[in-house]
Chain A
Amino acid sequence: MSGVWVVVEERDGRMGRISWEAVATGQELGAQLGVPVCAALPGAQTEALAAELAAKALNRVVRVEHALLGAYTADGFTLALEQLLRAEQPEFVVFPHTYQVRDYAPALAARFGQVLIGDVTQVGTGPVFTRQLMQGRLSGTYCPTGSGPCFVSVQSGAFRADAVKAGTAEVTVFSPVLEAGQLRTRPSEPFRGSAQTVDLGSAQMIVSVGRGIKEAENLPLVQELATALGAELAASRPICDNGWLPMERQVGSSGQTVAPKLYVAVGISGAIQHLVGMKGSQCVVAINKDADAPIFEVADYGIVGDLFEVVPALTEAVKNARQ
């Protein structure tokens, strides 16, 4: 039993950044332990991606290929990877901590009598693995005590994708034995959340505007920033009261409660009625001309300045970054 295996994830013919981060973690682990690192790529048509992986410093790239692995099912992936891992007997198996991995890796680990150490943010010598507890208020360090392979998944963004070492790897194909009857769930095509209605509650990014905007005519300024970010536009109550934006875009105690990854508060002073609606945001950026505005108390990044200057500059910078 030896070596580190990285199970990467194909999505729409591409490999997401988080999979590269997993590869980087695998390489780091391999270097620490002085063992070879291999990559497994489950799917139905994985040739192109395998070629991409072959240009990295990996011992082997294995295309775990089967027609039934085209659309993800927990049963298919668990069965296929179980067969591969039983054959290869790795010491460590590294996954990207994606929704898909969360769906099957715990079951896969259980088949080996093991537990996935999920959502890892740090790998220490030993190796030991650090992950968050209590919703980020504490961190915990885990070490495997069992005798089987150790399953680990890495948190998105915790490791550097650009740290993946280049090299060459041999590409092989592993054909698992799978039958349609073994797949008990029938997934349908993924679809976008209904685009027509405003759903601030599930928005990933929100640009919210308050009284500082002064006139309805100035709203396009903020709309442009939202568009550049790919964010939803929202507002504090006075804006919706004036009818400048529809009521369904109101964030606050009498409107929507939101919890996006990014919340940009433009010209919002931060009344309690507004704060309770957006307090769950992961990152808050506040732009306000009043340095004493309470919104800065809850902000992660604060900019004291004229929004009519800062917002266009920011829109420009975001557009450039997006290109």
Chain B
Amino acid sequence: MIQLPFTLAEPDGFSLWERFTFAALTLTSAALFWRRFGPILQRILHSRKDADFRLAPVGRRVWEFVWEVLCQSKVIRQRPLPGLAHALVFWGFCAFAVVTLNHFAYGLGLGFLSPDGWVGRCYFYLAAVFATACAGGILGLFVRRFAVRPRWLGAKLSYESGFIALLIFALMATYLAAFFVADGSPAARALWWAHTLTLLVFLPIIPHTKHLHLVLSPATVFLSRGGFSRIPALAGDEDFGLVAGTDLTRLVSLQAYSCVECGRCMEHCPAANTGKVLNPKEIVLGLRGYLNEYGPASAEPLLGKYNRQEAVFQCTTCGACEFQCPVGIEHLPIMVGLRRGAVNTGTWEDEHGAKLFLALERGSNALGMSATERDKFIQKQELPIFDGTQEYCLWLGCMGGYDPKGREIVADFARVMRYLGTSFGVLRKEKCTGDPVRRLGNDLLFEQLAQANLEALAQNKVKKIVSICPHCVRTIAEDWKQYGTPPEIEHHSEFLARHLSRLPRAAEKETVVYHDPCYLGRYRDVFEEPRKVVAQAGELVEAPRSHERSFCCGAGGGLAFLGEEQGERVSQVRAAELAATGAKTVGTACPFCNSMFRDALAAGGEGAPQLLDIAQLTARNLPAGGAG
């Protein structure tokens, strides 16, 4: 029988021994798959239940699944070219799923799609388009991995990835080739068998390699906690964070096995890029190694053979890892969880860390200064005390209340508020919001600080807060929720952006390079407001790494309070990058970033750009005399 050209060729029936061989090979392949995948699933399912896990709202989950998994949005957005190549492979696989099912069914004589019917023919043509794209995509990825070799894929060539790429290519090639041979011909039979064998080899390889993400990551994305850096509440009296295997929750274990080792998490990691021990990818793979060796019922400490305490405490919690991860791994709850385990049980011994904790056990602020210093500043600037009649409570924070530079920012922001005629007051007493201890994993202190502050705010009948510190804003708005209902809070960039039309523009515009603070950008999704404020006061220049891909200043995660860094200083790397834009001014929106860049920029010597907060940029255009 002669077929029209370009129709999918199929063998015309199978002999008994062919059928037998096919069944035996399929069973073997499936068994090999399960022998590896079964125990992994067991380890995930035998992990502790996530006490705070709620499936609702399902809408969000479905949306994220569609957007991130089906549309491959994260994969493409963060690395457009390889992302697209990956998406082509992924979509190819999706389209191919029906073809593969039919392929196996056909082997058993149960084929449901036939090139003879128009449905089958159309689908096969469609699949052929996807298969071509998929083959092209995998070829591109192969070239990238073995010829371009970006550094985040690691120095070591992964031959396993190469082999997989070949298999995928072979799958597509054997499918597409069948369009060029005659139906029922020996060539069609050979291609059918080649396709089958490729599939049967591919299946057991999946759970043995990082291609496990093919199976797990859709579930990981769907089941993720959501939000950003969402740190779960401790469950009960015996939960101290991630101490041992018994503390690993299902979500953590699922995420550990989902890692595809793409290295996006380390691409913008301030630690991994400045010679620290920490590499977020290794942390996740470390947990996987732990689970493989000890399992989720083990009392063996998590910080030991597979992960080092030193590494965990080098994290600035900037979130560049979590933000980038395409398979739904939530690094920050893991990192903070491991820190909680070490700090809540007292196994973390660090001179500077202990000093910070003791300062907050005994006093009100992370800097260990006397509260009277804050009072003096309030008196000197004649800041009104909040009495319930004002619209805003201006939250100073430790940096705003005690750091000379932070005070300048507060003073300028207060000038702007006065100019706008917005009523505000500061609390007579304020305690640290608990941001550094929250990120360092000290739950005892965090609870004490959050509760004391919530009580004080309620007593003062505060309805709205504005703060110059993204760390305070994030901690109050999100982390305090564990202990009560915090008042509405916004960052001063949001406040300023809203009132821009009533604020004077700069007469002469100098170039200003804006640095996105992690806790404002990635944590709060505020990117455009500060840019608008900058653009009103100067000519906005973008840094090479900006918006959600911004590079940390090095201060977050409590690291501003821990001693000297190992390797290169994060602040200097970022400051040099900002200075290299040639902008006259570095614009910041966080007093911690500001304090980190102060020294780092000055190290650049004469001609270094000046450093100003967006409040200062705005205030310098106000008419002298102030009040409007």
Contacts and interface: CB of A to CB of B under 8 A. Distances in A.
**A and B directly contacting (CB within 8 A):** yes
B383 to A, nearest CB: 16
B404 interface: yes
Nearest to B359: A276
A271 B598 contact: yes
A272 B404 contact: yes
Contacts of B402: 272, 275
B352 interface: yes
Contacts of B603: 238, 241
A271 B355 contact: no
A255 B352 CA distance: 9
B599 A238 contact: yes
Contact of A272 (B405, B564, B602): B405
A294 interface: yes
Contacts of A289: none
Contacts of A253: 352, 560-561, 563
B272 interface: no
A238 B602 contact: yes
B595 interface: yes
A96 interface: no
A306 interface: no
A249 interface: no
Interface residues of B, number: 22
B274 to A, nearest CB: 15
B599 A272 contact: no
B404 A254 contact: no
Interface SS, B side: helix
Contacts of A294: 404-405
Nearest to A272: B403
Contacts of A271: 404-405, 595, 598-599
Interface string B364-400: 0001111000000000000000000000000000010
Given A271-B405, A276-B368, A294-B404, A254 B564 contact: yes
A180 to B, nearest CB: 44
A297 B374 CA distance: 12
B406 interface: yes
Contacts of A102: none
B399 A272 contact: yes
B362 to A, nearest CB: 13
Interface in A267-301: 270-273, 275-276, 279, 294, 297
Interface in B513-564: 560-564
Contacts of B370: 279
Contacts of A17: none
A318 interface: no
A255 B599 CA distance: 15
Contact of A270 (B352, B404, B561, B562): B404
A238 B571 CA distance: 13
B40 to A, nearest CB: 43
A211 interface: yes
Nearest to A276: B367
Contacts of A56: none
Nearest to B403: A272
Nearest to B402: A272
A272 B563 contact: no
A254 B563 contact: yes
Contacts of A276: 367-369
Contacts of B355: 257
A7 B495 CA distance: 68
A211 B602 contact: yes
Nearest to A253: B561
A271 B603 CA distance: 14
Contacts of A272: 367, 399, 402-406, 595
A247 interface: yes
B404 A275 contact: yes
Contacts of B560: 253
Contacts of A247: 564
Interface in B314-328: none
Contacts of A241: 603
A279 to B, nearest CB: 6
A63 interface: no
A120 to B, nearest CB: 26
Contacts of B368: 276, 279
A237 interface: yes
A211 B603 CA distance: 10
Interface string B584-605: 0000000000010011001100
Contacts of B404: 270-272, 275, 294, 297
A276 B560 CA distance: 12
Contact of A254 (B352, B405, B406): B352
Nearest to B380: A297
A237 B560 CA distance: 14
B411 to A, nearest CB: 12
Contacts of B595: 271-273
A279 B369 contact: yes
Interface string A258-270: 0000000000001
A32 B562 CA distance: 57
Interface in A4-63: none
Interface centre among B355, B404, B563, B598 (most CB of A within 10 A): B404
| B355, B370, B560, B564, most chain A CB atoms within 10 A | B564
Nearest to B365: A276
Contacts of B367: 272, 275-276
Q: Which of A241, A253, A294 counts the most B-chain CB atoms under 10 A from its CB? A: A253
A273 B405 CA distance: 11
B248 to A, nearest CB: 34
Contacts of A279: 368-370
Nearest to B369: A279
Contacts of B403: 272
A300 B456 CA distance: 34
Most buried by B among A247, A276, A279, A297: A276
B599 A237 contact: yes
Interface in A204-257: 211, 237-238, 241, 247, 253-255, 257
Nearest to A247: B564
B369 to A, nearest CB: 6
Interface string B346-362: 00000010010000000
A228 B355 CA distance: 33
B191 to A, nearest CB: 66
A93 B562 CA distance: 50
A55 B368 CA distance: 51
A238 B562 CA distance: 17
A107 B369 CA distance: 36
A238 B405 CA distance: 17
A254 B562 CA distance: 7
A254 B564 CA distance: 5
Contacts of A211: 602
B357 to A, nearest CB: 14
A257 B561 CA distance: 13
A241 B352 CA distance: 19
Nearest to A250: B564
Contacts of B406: 272
Nearest to A293: B404
B360 to A, nearest CB: 13
A249 B607 CA distance: 29
Interface in B230-245: none
A270 B405 CA distance: 10
A257 B563 CA distance: 11
Contacts of B369: 275-276, 279
6 contacts: A253-B561, A254-B562, A273-B595, A273-B599, A275-B369, A275-B404
A-B complex: 10 closest residue pairs judged by Cβ atoms: A294-B404, A272-B403, A254-B564, A254-B563, A276-B367, A272-B595, A276-B368, A279-B369, A271-B598, A270-B404
Given A255-B563, A272-B367, A275-B402, 8 more contacts: A237-B599, A238-B599, A238-B602, A253-B560, A253-B561, A273-B595, A275-B367, A279-B369
